[in-house]
Amino acid sequence: MKVALSLLISALVTFPGLAQERSKRTHHIYLQGGIAAPLGELDLMGLRIEGMINDGGIAKISYAKDIFSFLAVGATIGRRVNSFNIAVMEEATSGTVLVPPWRTTTALADLYLKLPLKQFSIYTRGSVGLAMPKTWQLDIHTSVETGRLSTVRKPAEAYSAAGGISYRINKLEFGLETDLLLTNPELRLDFDGMQSQQKQLVGTWNNSLRLGYNF
């Protein structure tokens, strides 16, 4: 009986605090832009050429809703673009390389853990979702062989882990964020009349500026 009474009193004391937290729910819209630095290299017909992918750019738009002051959920749509260092690739393969930039659109569901410090806020974010690579192909022509690596046009898994800091002025929010974005698209290899398909992990470290509006 004493245990039940203690639990009831604890619940009555705790509930107003939770209700107050819930009453402070706010909505956030964020715009981000920054640099996408590649992790690793593509498997280019059995070759992994160092420096074949250049730093690129990333842009995102996000929505988030506070559940508590320390917890929020949301969604992000992003676009990542990286070009290739053709000179390095041609030197490594002793051939002619034709390749457009690698472009990927991602749609992610987000979970935030936040540490609010007056006007400042420190946060981490975990995200899962889908990536859709733009139609892309890489052609290599040498004196003895010809090969093509191209995307299979279908959604692939996407994962992201991020950390950042933001500063709030009234309804505006300014911040810096660093995140790891991993996608796992399927590529088709056509090489000397033979065809195969393979999954290829594509990752970037992204550093971006963040502008938010709270309402």
Residue 77 lies inside a defined structural domain of this protein = yes
What residue numbers bound the domain in which 203 lies? 26-214
Where is pLDDT greater, at 45 or 99?
Answer: 99
Residue 9 lies inside a defined structural domain of this protein = no
Question: Whose CA is closest to 73, among 107, 124, 110, 106?
Answer: 110
Where is pLDDT greater, at 12 or 49?
Answer: 49
Residue 2 lies inside a defined structural domain of this protein = no
Residue 202 lies inside a defined structural domain of this protein = yes
Residue 20 lies inside a defined structural domain of this protein = no
For all residues of the chain together, what is the average pLDDT? Answer: 86
The predicted model scores a pTM of: 0.82
Confidence band (pLDDT; 50, 70, 90) for 193? confident
pLDDT at 148: 86
Half-sphere exposure of 208 (CA within 13 A, CB side): 26
Coil, strand or helix at 171: coil
Domains: count for the chain: 1
Mean pLDDT of 7-14: 42
Per residue in 143-158, pLDDT (tens digit) is 777 888 888 888 999 9
Question: Whose CA is closest to 116, among 71, 49, 171, 54?
Answer: 71
- Which residues of the chain form beta strands (DSSP E)? 27-39, 56-68, 71-82, 96-98, 102-117, 120-133, 137-141, 146-151, 156-169, 172-183, 186-191, 194-199, 202-214
pLDDT at 192: 74
- Cα–Cα distances (Å) from 72 to 65, 69, 109, 112, in that order, read 5, 8, 11, 5
Residue 208 lies inside a defined structural domain of this protein = yes
Residue 16 lies inside a defined structural domain of this protein = no
Specify the CATH number for the domain of residue 165.
Answer: 2.40.160.20
pLDDT at 206 over 90: yes
Residue 202 · residue 182 · CB < 8 Å: yes
Residue 189 lies inside a defined structural domain of this protein = yes
